[in-house]
A and B are shown apart, each in its own frame.
Chain A
């Protein structure tokens, strides 16, 4: 207890130096926590986005499967179309628990992208859409009155942005079409919130794509049947079968290389912080050479000196750990905002998720860092000979 009090007083002697060293450790811990939190948040968000698509298997026209899956997640142009006949073939497969056809189409909207112009995405859906996404509820209104009704259902954010209520009109630029709002979905926290949905038949008619689809979402009765199901459809011309688990795995593999880079940054930050701590404590030891000599001369053992210096180093890292954790929590939303601006695709939900476990492990890591960083200065201090130290310190 006495050693802790002495160590604490020693650190208080040079407040600014101690504070800056604590700050250095704090920044390193904050970087580490933010990066780990981002890794956790991105994985969770992506998993949630893919799960909230509602299907395990996606059938699309032949092309790049990951591009197709990303388009379904994120939206965009350059979609490929397949014949609706494929849907009729699969719908009666006994392994299928739920199936929904979709037609995604983009039109040029001059007001998109902050007035720069861009593609606005519309999705033609069938009633079975709700079978695959049972969590979607109506905030107001209802499903389309007919399969070919000139109506739309709007995602929560799309309705908010366009200030639409049930019965209002909505204008689709590019094709100069006016449709009526039949329903507005409640917020789902997914890309669906920003979309405008049309009846599949209406979408095929107004976009001039009769009997065409961009995707078929499928949920199987047994997840173990995916491999066999994919195999059976392998020879079907013009289509490809994408397992969402594969998509998830591939995206995770792609981001793992970025993860190596971010982890390297965190390790460098910690390394720099450790050097800073060692330097600060060593300087402090050299400045107190005479004092250490006197302490030894009046009976302090090598272990007593070692313990005081070691505690000083650990205290710095403990405070740095606390400061870094607090800073990471406070700055999480700002970091998230910045990352969203940089990343080409950011999943919905929080991008930086800081869990209790992460905070605890980073705090424990800071303590270990302190214990390791303190060994050398503590050994230097404890190995000083009293007479020599007093003489050198004069």
Chain B
């Protein structure tokens, strides 16, 4: 009895130690939600909770992932601001014990400052909500306007490679193109990383197609 109690006390102390270590490890984060509780409830009103996890491009089993991401993105990842060790936060939205969606954000270099693009996706990886958590631009209000952001609802990663689909997306302002393309790159990067971290190896995974030599 005494030995069991002693073990329990030790277990509590070790658990506390692990908690402290994970707490400090999660301190540096690429792009997290400003107020997860409020933001997730707004996107998924039926949610009852959420679970956060962090993923990086580097790490065991992810050798060569950077190249694959760059290949899918058709652009280089910035060595300073999009380094392989940047942790990406993923919020699994729960209804009871069931995951009903996922919310994830990325930092994207904008024309006039950093842009934070937040996507909410269903379990298939299709966008159910998109908003800018941060955008520094003289045209920021046009980019934030729902008439622009709503155009992305329902799209999945596959759609972003379809020219006919992209041509349907209207720019928020006629003169501003740089941040429009930055936004497209950011959304694409966001969905590619979701694909890499959650769907890799599945039948419809685009990363898997690249591995098989099938370019998107």
Q: Which residue numbers of A lie inside 8 Å of B, CB to CB?
A: 15-16, 19-20, 110-111, 114-115, 160-165, 169-171, 173, 176, 178, 330-331, 333-334, 337
The contact of A19 among B9, B81, B112, by CB within 8 Å, is B9
B110–A163 contact, CB under 8 A? yes
Chain B nearest CB, measured from A392 CB (Å): 26
CB distance from A328 to the nearest CB of B (A): 12
Q: How many angstroms from the CA of A20 to the CA of B147 in the assembled complex? A: 63
Given contacts A15-B2, A330-B17, A334-B23, contact A169 B81 (CB under 8 A): no
**Within B71-125, which residues are at the interface with A (CB < 8 Å)?**
78, 80-81, 107-114
Closest chain B residue to A177 by CB distance?
B138
Please determine whether B34 and A114 come into contact, CB atoms closer than 8 angstroms. yes
**Inter-chain contacts of B2 with A (CB < 8 A):** 15-16
Q: Known contacts A16-B5, A111-B136, A163-B78; decide if A169 and B20 are in contact (CB<8 Å).
A: no
Kindly state whether residue B27 has any CB partner on chain A within 8 Å.
Answer: yes
Of the listed residues B5, B27, B138, the one surrounded by the most CB atoms of chain A closer than 10 A to its CB is B138
**Residue of B6, B114, B135 touching A163 (CB-CB under 8 A):** B114
B78 partner residues in chain A, CB cutoff 8 A: 163
Q: Kindly report which residue of chain B lies nearest to residue A109, judged by CB atoms.
A: B136
Q: How far is the CA of A164 from the CA of B114 in the complex (A)?
A: 8
- Looking at chain A's contact residues, is the secondary structure mostly helix, strand, loop, or mixed? helix
B66 at the interface (CB under 8 A from A): no
Chain A residues near B34: list those with CB within 8 A. 114-115
Task: Let me know if B114 and A178 touch, CB within 8 A.
Answer: no
Given A163-B110, A164-B113, A334-B20, 7 more A-B residue pairs with CB atoms under 8 Å apart are A15-B2, A115-B134, A160-B80, A169-B112, A170-B113, A176-B138, A330-B20
Instruction: Give A290 to B23 CA distance when docked, in angstroms.
Output: 50
Q: Identify 28 residue pairs between A and B in the complex whose beta-carbon atoms are under 8 Å apart, listed by A's number.
A: A15-B6, A16-B2, A16-B6, A20-B9, A110-B140, A115-B34, A115-B134, A160-B80, A161-B114, A162-B113, A162-B136, A163-B78, A163-B81, A163-B108, A163-B109, A163-B110, A163-B113, A169-B112, A171-B113, A171-B136, A330-B17, A330-B20, A331-B20, A333-B24, A334-B23, A334-B24, A337-B24, A337-B27
A167 to chain B, nearest CB (A): 12
Which residue on chain B has the smallest CB distance to residue A120?
B136
Chain B residue nearest to A171 in the complex (CB): B112
A111 contacts B134, CB within 8 Å?
yes
- Residues in A neighbouring B6, C-beta threshold 8 A: 15-16, 19
Contacting A at CB under 8 A, from B124-178, are 133-138, 140
Task: Kindly state the separation between the CA atoms of A387 and B177 in the bound complex, as whole angstroms.
Answer: 99
Closest to B3 in A: A15
Give chain B residues whose Cβ lies under 8 Å from the Cβ of A170.
112-113, 136
| A173: contacting residue among B9, B24, B110, B136, CB under 8 A | B136
Bound-state CA distance A164–B2 (Å) is 61
Q: Which residues of B contact A (CB under 8 A)?
A: 2, 5-6, 9, 17, 20, 23-24, 27, 34-35, 78, 80-81, 107-114, 133-138, 140
- Docked CA distance A287–B140 (Å): 76
CA distance A63 to B27 in the complex (A): 38
Q: Which residues from B are CB-within-8-Å of A171?
A: 112-113, 136-138
A177 to nearest B CB, angstroms? 9
Q: How far is the CA of A169 from the CA of B112 in the complex (A)?
A: 5
Closest 8 A/B residue pairs (Cβ)? A171-B112, A114-B34, A163-B109, A162-B113, A163-B114, A111-B134, A163-B81, A162-B114
Given the complex of chains A and B, what is the CA–CA distance between A108 and B109 in angstroms? 22
A165 CB contacts on chain B under 8 angstroms: 80
Contact indicator A169/B111 (Cβ below 8 Å): yes
| Cross-chain contact of B81 among A115, A160, A333 (Cβ < 8 A) | A160
CA of A110 to CA of B27 in the docked complex: distance in angstroms? 25
Partner pick for B133 among A19, A115, A178, A334, CB 8 A cutoff: A115
Q: What's the Cα separation between A110 and B111 when bound, in Å?
A: 18
Please indicate the chain A residues that have their CB under 8 angstroms from the CB of B113 in the complex.
162-164, 170-171
**Of B23, B109, B112, which is in contact with the most chain A CB atoms at under 10 Å from its CB?**
B112
Query: Do B114 and A114 have beta carbons less than 8 Å apart?
Result: no
Tell me the smallest distance from the CB of B103 to a CB of chain A, in Å.
15
For A15, the chain B residues whose CB sits under 8 A away are 2, 6
Q: Is the CB of B35 within 8 A of A114?
A: yes
- Give complex CA distance A331, B20 in Å: 7
- Least Cβ–Cβ distance between B122 and chain A, in angstroms: 24
A178, B138: Cα distance in complex, Å: 8
Across the two chains, which residue of chain A brings its CB closest to B21? A330
A19 to B3, CA, bound (A): 12
Residues of B with C-beta under 8 A to A334: 20, 23-24
Instruction: Pick the most buried of A161, A163, A169, A337: most chain B CB atoms within 10 A of its CB.
Output: A163
Set of chain A residues within 8 Å of B140, measured between Cβ atoms = 110, 173
Chain B residues within an 8 Å CB radius of A163: 78, 81, 107-110, 113-114
Q: How far is the CA of A111 from the CA of B35 in the complex (A)?
A: 13
A337 to B24, CA, bound (A): 9
Give complex CA distance A340, B109 in Å. 29
Q: Bound state CA distance, A119 and B111, in angstroms?
A: 22
Residues of chain B within 8 A (CB-CB) of A114 are 34-35
